[in-house]
Structure formats: structure tokens, C-alpha cells
Amino acid sequence: MRYLRYYLIALAVFLLDLYTKRLVKTHIELHDIVPVWGDFFALTYYLNRGAAFGILQGQQPFFLAVTVVFLVGIVYYMHKSIRQGNKLLPVALSLMLGGAVGNFLDRLLHGEVVDFALLTFRFNIFGLHVNYQYPIFNVADSGIVIGTLIVVIDSIIAWRRESKQAAKESSHDAV
């Protein structure tokens, strides 16, 4: 029962990913761009046969195999961190799990992943106009990235805690 909440988080990410991809496929034509918030945020419909940022196009067997290993590792570490009483790490891993399953299902069933969120950053730096378009992504990608950021934050917190404990023990031993 203590694992259920984390699987529910993963399920929520997966279902939101599935739902948004279905909305995009039914309401937006392939490669069309629908502005949502000025030039900054738009919806589009793009099919990605590669990995993050469109790299390794067409390597579906590789992605499927790597994702299976990734999923097994996530579930293993999620259970391990829950047993150890960690609160933040299992949340991060559940976000990553839901995202990985969402993109895995796309690759398995269709050989490609539906991406749709488009961010464009435009600003001036010292008179130089910068126009940067972030690679198109989806809810699954967001779950994986946010989960990864939480893992990094959790690792920093754990490292700081261990450093303080080691310093405390070192000063206690000196007395």
C-alpha cells in the first residue's frame, strides 16, 4: 500500500500524456502551429522518431530496449528509496516512470512519439537579438525532466546532510 501513491503519480503523468497527445492528434494538423501565449508558447503536432531533441532518428529497437532497462531500474530504485524512508526521491522516480511509459507506448505502438509543446525565447542581450526555439516536447518529456531535476535536488540535499553529519562526527571525535 505504501507504494500505491507513487504508482498513482506515475499513472497520472501517463494518463495526462496520453490525453494531451490524443487531443493534439485530433485537433491540430501535422506541423501546424497554434499560438497559445503570444510568440512564447504554441501548440504544434510533430512526430519524433528519435530521442530527446530529435537525436538518433529511427532507432526504435534501441529506444525500446533502453526504455525497458530504464523502467526496470526506476521501479527498483523507487521501491528501494521508499523502503529507506525517502520522501522526495520516489516522487521524482514516479514522474520519470510515468513519462517513460508514455513515450514507450508511443514508440511501441506507432514507432514515433507525438510532441506538441513549443517554446520560443526572444530577447535582446547587449543589443543582440536572440531567438531560441526549445525542442518540441510533450507531457511525458516534462515528467522525465522534472523528475530528473528533483533527483538532482534530492542528491544535493542528501550530500549536504551527509557532509554536515561527517563534519559533526569529525568535531565530536576531536573532543
pLDDT per residue as tens digits for the range 67-88: 999 999 999 999 999 999 999 9
Query: Are the C-beta atoms of 94 and 9 separated by less than 8 Å?
Result: yes
Length of the chain as a residue count: 175
The gap from C-alpha 152 to its chain's centroid, in whole angstroms, comes to 13
Q: What percent of the chain has pLDDT over 70?
A: 95
Query: Are the C-beta atoms of 41 and 117 separated by less than 8 Å?
Result: yes
Residue 48's beta-bridge partner residues? 113
Q: Which of 52, 106, 98, 103 is nearest to 75 (CA)?
A: 98
Instruction: Say what the pTM is.
Output: 0.87
Q: Is 115 considered catalytic here?
A: yes
Angle between helices 4-27 and 139-174 (to 10 degrees): 150
Q: Is 154 considered catalytic here?
A: no
Report DSSP letters for 54-78, one per residue.
G-STT-HHHHHHHHHHHHHHHHHHH
Q: What mean pLDDT do residues 24-50 have?
A: 95
Q: Which of 17, 32, 39, 115 is catalytic?
A: 115
39 or 140, which is more confident:
140
Q: What is the pLDDT of residues 89-126, one digit of tens each?
A: 999 999 999 999 999 999 999 999 999 999 999 988 88
User: For residue 152, with 0-12 CB atoms within 10 Å meaning exposed, 13-18 middle and 19 or more buried, which class applies?
Assistant: exposed
Give the separation between CA 19 and CA 26, rounded to whole angstroms: 11
Give the separation between CA 43 and CA 34, rounded to whole angstroms: 5
Q: Which of 17, 106, 141, 154 is catalytic?
A: 141
